[in-house]
Amino acid sequence: MTDKLTKQDAPVRRTDVPMVKAEGVHKSFGQVEVLKGIDLEVRPGEVFCLIGPSGSGKSTFLRCINHLEKINAGRLYVDGELVGYRQQGDKLYELRDREVAMKRRDIGMVFQRFNLFPHMTAVENVMEAPVQVKGARRADAHHRAMSLLERVGLADRAGHYPSQLSGGQQQRVAIARALAMDPKLMLFDEPTSALDPELVGDVLDVMRDLAESGMTMVVVTHEMGFAREVGDSLVFMDEGVVVESGRPRDVLTNPQHERTQSFLSKVL
């Protein structure tokens, strides 16, 4: 991979405003309460890892950050602005779909499944959103897409369709596609969980490169090695609450809560 960035190259942003701030976030599906009052902050430039058992609410919380899921109570902010709502006085008013979509452009998301357009080549997948959403000229979008594919090590696969790519390659194209919108925040929902073990490393290398460039990242992951090596903060969630949080090495090597200890004993 080439075109690596350093934190010095990253855009200068205010560091006194959290990139993500959750205050008492609740989310229910019918009678099932999935998030039971989440409070946390993600600083600009931070790699923030979420771990925990399946069903603990990690992925739901991630989807709430870009309003793919609507919260039922609490407040959720991205870069100082309410997610999905505007406040007048003490009342919240939900934004129109168009307004939500405009704000969502600043948040990149990479899913477990790659969700690439099967009828488009790798470079066309990466070009699509800048052209359709931002109105970029196709020539400019193509140049940018090729640069991003080179960054994730896939410039030589630009003309390949998803069906001609391995799972790891498809996931790297998905990351390039998210980066094409120049997001200020990247969300990763277990990006390696659907991959064969031998393909995981290439995707994690791309994520390490992003971390080194200063990208703010919230990562739901089962890759404890990545969390330990790359993460700045780590939260262990279970049954919709934050059980324990701290520096990744501290939480992973010396967990204080019995539930965290039990979970880590099974995955480490």
pTM: 0.91
Confidence of residue 100 (pLDDT cuts 50, 70, 90): confident
Q: What is the pLDDT of residues 143-193, one digit of tens each?
A: 999 999 999 999 999 999 999 999 999 999 999 999 999 999 999 999 999
Among candidates 132, 95, 131, 125, which has minimal Cα distance to 110?
A: 125
pLDDT confidence tier of residue 229, bands split at 50, 70 and 90: very high
Q: Are 129 and 180 within 8 A, CB to CB?
A: yes
pLDDT of residue 97: 87
d(CA 148, CA 198): 23
What gap in Å lies between CA 257 and CA 240, rounded to an integer?
A: 16
Using one digit for the tens of pLDDT, what is the confidence trace for 104-138? 889 999 998 888 999 999 999 999 999 999 999 99
Which residue's structure tokens are 């470079």?
123
Residue 235 exposure: Cα atoms within 13 Å on the Cβ side: 24
Ramachandran assignment for 30, one of left (phi > 0), alpha (psi -120 to 50 degrees), beta (any other): left
